[in-house]
Amino acid sequence: MCHSIPVAGIDVAFRTDDESGLVEIQVAVKTVGKTGAEMEALLGASVAALTIYDMCKAVDKSMTVSDLRLVRKSGGKSGEFVRPGEEEAEWDM
Gap between the Cα atoms of 3 and 88, Å rounded: 29
Please report, for residues 4, 24, 65, 68, 75, the alpha-carbon distance to residue 14 in angstroms, rounded to integers and kept in the order given.
26, 6, 14, 14, 25
Catalytic residue ranges = 54
